[in-house]
């Protein structure tokens, strides 16, 4: 039982990170119908930006307060990653809008390769690590020889994820920008005719997606303490799986899908074989596509005649 609870805690933590990335996939898919394969690498880039920011904040500026460090790193990572994704959209996707469907997809794959190679060359191919940002844990139960712990960093990940999802929900549901995004999602041409600047709305979608990915990247760095240029791919594809599982295009679906994937992966590693954890996660992708193609929260496609 203790073992199970511990895995649950670990799984939700991992799932929160996947969920934040998955929102980026699902938002971009919702608004322009494209799977942004570079999104995983944007996440990886954000972890590097967070790493650099963390080193600057601690080593150069010498700010000792952990909370202050974390907030500064988050803000810097979100700002710069947003800028990166804004430029990517401008350069690699917008010129191809209105082109054939595969064009932006191919461009996205190219962008993904470009980003990971750029980081490999500029930052070096080795693992980059940081000293632990946050240490300490709550011991929840110690009845047997297996203690159940909830570390501070896990708690921070849960808290920040919850806070951001709340802010994000408010943005999409209640603000003018959110309404414009949903309108563009349903009928881009009509939204333009009502005076919505579709290009700007799409740009803002990429910016928001990147900001959430940057939070995930910072959390990832804080949680594992290491990052390398190839770290974008696997978490990226898992987050994509999460988005598909939740129903691509559905925002709550992305979060729920992310947490489910995190749990599946963690439990599989705990109870079966850690070597096959990626196989377990990607089997979910295949099974979802075969048996539940619209996902958990997706609307089934109504055929229009």
Partner 1 sequence: MAADDTVLRVEHLTMRFGGLVAINDLSFEVERGTITALIGPNGAGKTTVFNCITGFYKPTEGRIALHRGDATVWHALDALTDSGKRGIVRPDGALFLLERMPDHLVAQQARVARTFQNIRLFPGMTVLENLLVAQHNALMVASGYTLLGVLGFPSYAAAERAALDKARGWLDRFGLLARADDPAGDLPYGAQRRLEVVRAMCTEPVLLCLDEPAAGLNPRESAELNDLLLGIRDDHSLSILLIEHDMSVVMGISDSVVVLDYGVKIADGTPETVRNDQKVIAAYLGVADEDVAKVEAAVGL
Question: In a 10 Å sphere around its CB, with 0-12 CB exposed, 13-18 middle and 19+ buried, how is residue 286 labelled?
Answer: exposed
Least distance to partner 1, CB of residue 244, Å: 20
CB 77 within 8 A of CB 217: yes
Least distance to partner 1, CB of residue 107, Å: 23
Interaction with partner 1 in 142-201: which residues (CB under 8 A)? Answer: 167, 170-171, 175-177, 179-180, 182-183, 186-187, 189-198
* Contact pattern from residue 201 through residue 240 relative to partner 1, giving x for each residue in contact according to CB under 8 A and a dash for the rest: ---x------------------------------------
Query: CB 199: neighbour CB atoms within 10 A?
Result: 14
CB 77 within 8 A of CB 218: yes
CB 108 within 8 A of CB 38: yes
Interaction with partner 1 in 253-282: which residues (CB under 8 A)? Answer: none
C-alpha–C-alpha distance, residues 130 and 132, integer Å: 6
CB 55 within 8 A of CB 130: yes
Nearer to partner 1, 34 or 191 (CB): 191
Nearer to partner 1, 47 or 184 (CB): 184
Nearest residue to 10 (alpha-carbon basis) of 217, 265, 213: 265
Nearer to partner 1, 203 or 230 (CB): 203
Q: Which helix (H) or strand (E) holds 29?
A: helix 2-32
Nearer to partner 1, 149 or 294 (CB): 294
DSSP secondary-structure letter at 92? I
Least distance to partner 1, CB of residue 253, Å: 14
Nearer to partner 1, 121 or 190 (CB): 190
Question: In a 10 Å sphere around its CB, with 0-12 CB exposed, 13-18 middle and 19+ buried, how is residue 172 labelled?
Answer: middle
CB 248 within 8 A of CB 29: yes
Tokens representing 172 are 């999409």
Tell whether residue 117 is a contact of partner 1 (CB under 8 A).
no
Nearer to partner 1, 179 or 267 (CB): 179
Q: With contacts defined by CB under 8 A, how many residues of the chain interact with partner 1?
A: 23
Least distance to partner 1, CB of residue 100, Å: 21
Nearer to partner 1, 62 or 98 (CB): 98
Binding site for partner 1 (CB under 8 A): 167, 170-171, 175-177, 179-180, 182-183, 186-187, 189-198, 204
């Amino acid at each position: 039982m203790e073992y199970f609870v511990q895995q649950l805690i670990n799984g939700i933590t991992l799932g929160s990170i996947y969920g934040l990335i998955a929102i980026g996939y699902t938002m971009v898919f919702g608004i322009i119908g494209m799977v942004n394969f570079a999104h995983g690498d944007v996440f990886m880039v954000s972890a590097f930006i967070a790493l650099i920011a963390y080193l600057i904040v601690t080593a150069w500026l010498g700010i000792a307060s952990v909370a202050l460090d974390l907030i500064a790193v988050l803000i810097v990572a979100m700002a710069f990653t947003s800028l990166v994704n804004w430029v990517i959209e401008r350069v690699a996707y917008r010129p191809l809008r209105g082109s054939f469907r595969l064009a932006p997809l191919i461009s996205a794959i190219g962008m993904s390769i470009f980003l990971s190679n750029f980081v490999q060359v500029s930052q070096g191919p080795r693992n980059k690590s940081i000293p632990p940002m946050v240490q300490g844990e709550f011991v929840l139960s110690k009845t047997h020889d297996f203690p159940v712990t909830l570390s501070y960093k896990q708690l921070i990940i849960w808290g920040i994820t919850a806070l951001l999802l709340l802010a994000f929900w408010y943005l999409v549901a209640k603000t003018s920008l959110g309404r414009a995004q949903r309108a563009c999602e349903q009928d881009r041409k009509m939204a333009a005719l009502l005076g919505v600047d579709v290009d700007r709305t799409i740009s803002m979608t990429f910016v928001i997606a990147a900001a959430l990915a940057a939070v995930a990247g910072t959390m990832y760095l804080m949680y594992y303490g290491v990052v390398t240029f190839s770290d974008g791919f696997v978490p990226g594809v898992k987050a994509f799986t999460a988005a598909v599982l939740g129903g691509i295009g559905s925002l709550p679906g992305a979060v729920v899908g992310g947490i489910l994937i995190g749990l599946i992966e963690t439990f599989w590693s705990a109870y079966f074989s850690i070597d096959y954890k990626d196989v377990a996660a990607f089997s979910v992708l295949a099974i979802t596509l075969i048996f539940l193609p619209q996902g958990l929260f997706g609307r089934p496609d109504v055929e229009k005649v």
